[in-house]
Every structure is written in structure tokens, then in C-alpha cells.
Copies of this chain bind each other. A is one copy, B any other.
Amino acid sequence: MQEAQFIGLLWLIGILAEAMTGALAAGRKQMDLFGVVIIGCATAIGGGTLRDMLLGNYPLVWVENVHYLIAIAFASLLTVAIAPVMRYLSKLFLAIDALGLAVFSIVGAQKTLMLGFSPTIAVVMGLVTGVFGGVIRDILCNQVPLIFKKELYAVISLFTAGLYITLNAYQLEEWINLVICLTLGFSLRMLALRYHWSMPTFDYQSSGDQHTH
């Protein structure tokens, strides 16, 4: 139970951090406070919600326990209040977001495995949980999803989920598995940000589309 409480606490930190990235994205589009709350909520719970809808796993976590939704709405509004300070906290914020990425990927994989799906699907669902909140945020803000273009993000989610599932298959103690995956996932993301590690990009201009450049 102690692992569950520990990971639960990290998960809560993660969704609140995601809500804040959503609120900031809404602010960049000059949305109103209600838009801020909706984008905050969609960012925080979007990944897990999509996972459970793809798996047909009902009721959804936040439908059953509405307190999460209220906490997320509050975190979104808090972001507006502390926005002037956010500039100076941007490094702390990126670190919390990196932690959230690792936690979401692990929790998504763990839940999928516990529902009886295959390890491969568990890894895929770790990725969905880890990155699709941000994808939904960017779609609602009408921009190309950042995670497809910037520093390593989705691939770290996939790696973290995959490592967790692999170590789990070797029946490693849950506590040790969590610590290893969290540390590696978090560190890789921070290093990717620090050294601007990114995937090779695919730049394709078909003859029919040249006028777009």
C-alpha cells in the first residue's frame, strides 16, 4: 500500500503540473478564465481519459472521484494568479512537468497491465497517458502538438513505460522498479531539455505542396 500512496502523491503532483501547462497555454491564446479551467482540466485528465476510453474501462477515474477535477480547476485558476511569478519559476515548473511525464507513463502502463491487457498494450497506454494530455491541450489551442517537434518527450514516455513493464516482468520488487523508472525517466527528460536532445525530424515537401513554403 505504501508504494500506491507514494505513486498516488506523485500522480497528483503530475496532474496539477499538467493543469498548469494547460492554463499557461490558454493564457498564450488570451482565453477567458473559463477557457483556462477547461484547457487545464483537459490537459491534466486528457491522457488518462483517452487511455480508459480506448480500453473501455469505465467509470473514468475523475467521474468516480470528482475531487480530482475540482483540484485541477483550482490549480488552473491558481496559475492565473501566480502567472507573474511563473517566469521566475520556469525551471522548477519544467522539473515538475518532467516528473509528471515519468509518473503518468508508469501509472498508465501499470493500470493497463492490472486490467489484464498485454505488456505491449500496457507500454502503448503508458505513452498515451504520458503524452496525450499535452496533445489535447495543443489541439484545443489550435497549434501543432509540441511533443511532435521539440526536445525528447514522447520517446521518454515510451522508454519509461517499457522499462517499468520489463522490470515488472522480471518480478523486480515494485518499490525498486518505481524508483529506477522515475529516476531514469525524470533524469532523461531533464538532460534532454538541458542539452536540447531531440529526435531527427522528417521534412517532406511534396511538389504539390511547395507553395506552402
Contact = CB atoms under 8 A, between A and B. Distances in A.
Interface of A: 23-24, 26-36, 38-39, 49, 53-56, 58-60, 63, 66, 69-70, 80, 83, 86-87, 90, 117-118, 120-121, 124, 135, 139-145, 147-149, 154-155, 158, 198-209, 212
Contacts of A200: 32-33
A206 B34 contact: no
16 contacts: A24-B204, A26-B202, A28-B212, A29-B144, A29-B149, A32-B148, A33-B200, A34-B154, A35-B149, A38-B148, A49-B54, A54-B60, A55-B63, A66-B118, A87-B206, A139-B142
A94 B148 CA distance: 26
B202 A148 contact: no
Contacts of A83: 202, 204
Given A30-B203, A38-B148, A142-B143, 16 more contacts: A27-B202, A31-B149, A31-B201, A32-B149, A35-B145, A38-B154, A49-B54, A56-B58, A56-B59, A87-B206, A90-B206, A139-B139, A139-B140, A140-B145, A140-B148, A141-B144
Contacts of A63: 54-55, 117, 121
